[in-house]
């Protein structure tokens, strides 16, 4: 039994997440695969969905933590303003996620690598923003927040390079604390 468990763990490390039945579907700004951004929002939930991270880098002392899953093309910034350690699974609160790689697709069918023309067909209400706090991007889902500067922000945006979607970014301005 112990040998089978070791072999299963080794197989999980050797194969990409897609081979293990993990979802790469982005549903608006509220779900990354099986991870519920707004209703869960904790680092532990992403670990449960995508396994142990391949990298963790502290930001702002213990208040921020950039966590990555290289095989999944996923990196997420977690934070904790209540004195906890943002790199701990039960303390880190979701702030921003970036998804890269051809595995990622929105629920409407937009993939990393798709053209801007396809983006505009699938998201006719999307708006392009070339200035401001967020880098140049197409806002696919726009939200309003009373926190911070009290205004609109991109819940889900697509970063475009050379006329093609290069990555997706989810922002959640009120992820906890």
pLDDT in tens, 24-78: 999 999 999 999 998 888 999 999 999 999 999 988 888 899 999 999 999 999 9
Position 28 scores a pLDDT of 94
List pLDDT tens digits, range 145-174: 877 666 888 999 999 999 999 999 999 875
Q: How confident is the model at residue 84 (pLDDT cuts 50, 70, 90)?
A: confident
Token code pair at residue 124: 């006719």
**pTM of the predicted model as reported, rounded to 2 decimal places:** 0.83
Per-residue pLDDT, averaged over 129-139, amounts to 85
């Amino acid at each position: 039994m112990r040998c089978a468990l070791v072999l299963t763990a080794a197989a999980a490390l050797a194969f990409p997440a897609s081979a293990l039945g993990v979802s790469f579907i982005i549903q608006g700004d509220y779900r990354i695969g099986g991870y519920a951004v707004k209703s869960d929002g904790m680092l532990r939930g992403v670990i449960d969905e995508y396994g142990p991270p391949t990298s963790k880098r502290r930001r702002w002392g213990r208040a921020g933590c950039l966590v990555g899953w290289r095989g999944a093309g996923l990196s997420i910034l977690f934070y904790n303003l209540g004195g906890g350690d943002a790199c701990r699974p039960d303390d880190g609160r979701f702030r921003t996620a970036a998804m890269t790689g051809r595995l990622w697709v929105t629920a409407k069918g937009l993939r990393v690598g798709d053209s801007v023309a396809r983006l505009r067909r699938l998201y006719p209400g999307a708006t392009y923003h070339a200035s401001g706090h967020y880098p140049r991007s197409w806002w696919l889902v726009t939200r309003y927040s009373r926190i911070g500067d009290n205004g609109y922000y991109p819940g889900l945006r697509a970063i475009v390079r050379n006329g093609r979607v290069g990555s997706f970014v989810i922002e959640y301005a009120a992820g906890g604390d």
